[in-house]
Amino acid sequence: MNALDIKVNAAFPGYTVRKDLVSRVRGNAAVPSYVLEFLLGQNCATDDPEQIEEGIERVRDILAKHYVQRAEAGLIRSRIRETSYQRVIDKVSVALNEKRDCYEATFENLGITHVLVDSSTVKSNERLLVSGVWCIADLSYVPNEARDESPFVLSSLKPIQMAWFDFDEYVEARNQLTMDEWLDVIIRSIGLNPDELGRRDKLFQLTRMVTYCERNYNFIELGPKGTGKSHVFSEFSPHGILISGGEVTPAKLFVNNSNGNIGLVGYWDCVAFDEFAGKNKRPKPDVVDIMKNYMANKSFSRGIETLSAEASMAFVGNTSHDVGYMIRSTDLFEDLPDMYHDPAFIDRLHAYVPGWEMSIIRGDMFCTDFGLIVDYLAEALRHLRTLDYAGGYDRWFRLSSTLSTRDKDGVNKTFSGLLKILFPGRNQTKDEARELLEFAMEMRERVKDQLYRIDETFERVEFSYRDLETGVVRGVQTLEEVEWPGEYHSLDLVPWEPAEAPAPAPAAATPKAADPAPLVSTAEPAVEEPSLKEGLVSYRENQRGVSYDSLFGPYFEGAKSVEIIDPYVRTFHQCRNVMELMQVLIRRLGFIQTSLRVHLVTAPDMYGTEKQEDYLRQIADAVKPMNIDFTWKLDDTGIHARHLRIDDRWDILLDRGLDIWQKFDSGNAFSLESQLPEMRRVKQFEVTYMKVGA
């Protein structure tokens, strides 16, 4: 167990589980993670290895005996008939039979219908009437001659979810951890390893969860395949439902006019639409119209009466082009069906999460440490739905007056949801509130900036806020605006066209003797290097287009000596960074450089310096033929500053040292990120350029 494992188990005794246990007990059981963790929480909520193993065997035994596999449904039905009793784990839905004036259950995997259910069970679990709910049920068999009545009798039914939650206890336990620790615990709880995610990635994951703790929150995420967009909506909470295919009828979603039954929005905290994008989709116009009214006013009507509901809406789908293409040639909503590629619909979205910034899910990204049982966290978020945290920044900051009501509503809802998740006790500091506010503003700004592209009647607004203590006004930009400053706000979009095949080269002419030399050179003009300047340059997390050459290359010209001071050159990837810096030096100074000295000062690896020194020796051997003398010193006096000193001319301060890249697949020879540093995503960092003696 690591330090955070110990701390979270001490703060939340009985509500934690080791996350790799889910995959160990799942087997062939096609059940959501919250069902498995419900069982693990009852049997493995401990840090004792022996008790964990015993609990795993109990859960496996429960699933083997009671979980209904579709292929074995006939055997289990027969077993119930022969023994007159069986406990099953299955997905159960209930419908009212008006002719018989009774409620009847359908067991999805078991394949039985018309099972009588008493009214009290339905009243305490109304979601059974709308869509299937995973339950533990006791069934018996009583033969009868009625054609429309099932011989199966339901003795008891219990939805698989927590029956009790203490919010004050939850807040008190949360306050035992720092913000960073709590953020990592939440990421662990949804099954991911926080060490593999950047800060922005973690906040994107939390934004998905805002749909569970904010009423009527409208969220969209579009991006490439494989980033886990639907995971939170299918596996995380028993209070949400994921609609596959992205299409649903007005009766199912809102209200059935024939019987007056309210639809999904009346029973679930979050209704998510998977595979929402796709130009070939043809959603029903009446669904879109009712949805737009519901997203704006929290109410809907199908001609009989006006009803209201509190379900949040989440829309997730895949993009067909990269973000650069969308910025240059179309807009970030280009993949939505035409009925939804509508300013009236888009303006009702509170947040747009850029799925292209999310990491593709890899095997090493899943958590194997302790986290909260997801059902416990889901109950905490459900309790928080009734509270309003939107004023959590009012004492420090004021939003720009140019923002529209919908802009402010979007910012406030995202901020409120993130604050509920991270600071349920409302004990955030000013800097912590600032981080969440700027992030929430960016999520809404992405929506508003694209609206201006789609419909020029929308006015540009300034996404900024004022610090009430200092009076300083700070603007907020999306990362796309930082990376494509020239194209981001341009309406002169360049449509994509397939490249034409090159024309065949003309036949070579017989050269004439003594042709005069051209008066003007036809060689490519030399690219001028930018002038070397002093000052601070900041880079956003997940930003691309950065390399050691763009950061330091011009400053290396003519160098005779380079000193690297970085206490964190210990592991393989950190030493690889030094090697990449050496490659930049070689390219900049030429392959026949004389008397270049490069000296590294770093701290010794606390786990032993044998591998560390071996890596550094390999670097020295590799660059020696290029006439580069690479040396190093392991300094254990506690160095902290990280910078590059180039001769006696420049001192470049690096707040993160050379370790600026987020994790990428460096071992894949066919990965662009491994070959082109500009394609990698960076961590947030700053570089300060200072002239020595200036």
Q: What is the CATH number of the domain that holds 620?
A: 3.30.870.30
In a domain, 496, yes or no: no
In a domain, 369, yes or no: yes
d(CA 132, CA 150): 19
Mean pLDDT, 10 residues at a time, over the chain (694 residues)? 92 90 80 84 81 89 87 90 90 89 91 90 84 87 79 88 85 96 96 92 96 96 92 87 82 84 90 90 86 92 82 95 91 93 95 93 87 92 93 95 94 97 96 97 96 88 94 95 87 55 45 39 40 89 93 92 94 94 89 79 92 95 91 89 92 94 85 90 94 77
Largest CA distance in the chain: 111
Structure tokens at 446: 């992405």
pTM of the complete model: 0.81
- pLDDT value of residue 187: 96
Task: Name which of 74, 72, 85, 81 is nearest 137 in CA terms.
Answer: 85
In a domain, 356, yes or no: yes
In a domain, 205, yes or no: yes
Q: Looking at residue 309, which CATH number applies to its domain?
A: 3.40.50.300
How many CB atoms are located within 10 Å of the residue 320 CB? 14
Q: Looking at residue 83, which CATH number applies to its domain?
A: 2.40.50
Q: At what angle do helices 167-174 and 374-384 cross, to 10 degrees?
A: 110
How many CB atoms are located within 10 Å of the residue 414 CB? 28
Task: Based on the fold, state whether residues 205 and 82 are members of the same structural domain.
Answer: no
247 CB burial (10 A radius; 0-12, 13-18, 19+): middle
The 10s digit of each residue's pLDDT in 642-673 is 999 999 899 999 999 999 999 888 888 888 88
Structure tokens at 501: 């095949």
How far CA 367 is from CA of 59, 176, 418, in Å, comes to: 20, 22, 22
Domain boundary among 380, 404, 438: 380
Task: Quickly list DSSP for 119-154.
Answer: HHHHHH-GGGGTS-EEEEEEEEE-----TTS-SEEE
Query: Which pairing describes strands 650-654 and 685-691: parallel, antiparallel, or unpaired?
Result: antiparallel
Is the CB of residue 418 less than 8 Å from the CB of residue 207?
yes
Task: Based on the fold, state whether residues 91 and 43 are members of the same structural domain.
Answer: no
Q: Give, in degrees to the nearest 5, the angle at Cα 218 between 212 and 219.
A: 80
Task: Name which of 38, 85, 32, 39 is nearest 58 in CA terms.
Answer: 39
In a domain, 512, yes or no: no
In a domain, 493, yes or no: no
Task: Based on the fold, state whether residues 184 and 214 are members of the same structural domain.
Answer: yes
- pLDDT value of residue 518: 38
- pLDDT value of residue 498: 46
- pLDDT value of residue 592: 59
Task: Based on the fold, state whether residues 251 and 145 are members of the same structural domain.
Answer: no
How far CA 361 is from CA of 201, 229, 561, in Å, comes to: 12, 10, 42
Task: Based on the fold, state whether residues 271 and 337 are members of the same structural domain.
Answer: yes
Domain boundary among 10, 37, 67: 67
Task: Name which of 349, 366, 314 is nearest 209 in CA terms.
Answer: 314
In a domain, 235, yes or no: yes
Residues 6+ apart with CB under 8 A from 624: 630
How far CA 251 is from CA of 254, 284, 349, 627, in Å, comes to: 6, 12, 23, 76
- pLDDT value of residue 397: 97
- Residue numbers of the domain that contains 77: 71-159
Task: Based on the fold, state whether residues 187 and 109 are members of the same structural domain.
Answer: no
How many CB atoms are located within 10 Å of the residue 438 CB? 18
Task: Based on the fold, state whether residues 197 and 330 are members of the same structural domain.
Answer: yes
Task: Based on the fold, state whether residues 264 and 179 are members of the same structural domain.
Answer: yes
Counting the structural domains of the chain, the total is 5
Task: Based on the fold, state whether residues 581 and 664 are members of the same structural domain.
Answer: yes
17 three-class SS: strand
How many CB atoms are located within 10 Å of the residue 259 CB? 9
The 10s digit of each residue's pLDDT in 131-147 is 778 899 999 998 877 77
Task: Based on the fold, state whether residues 605 and 550 are members of the same structural domain.
Answer: yes
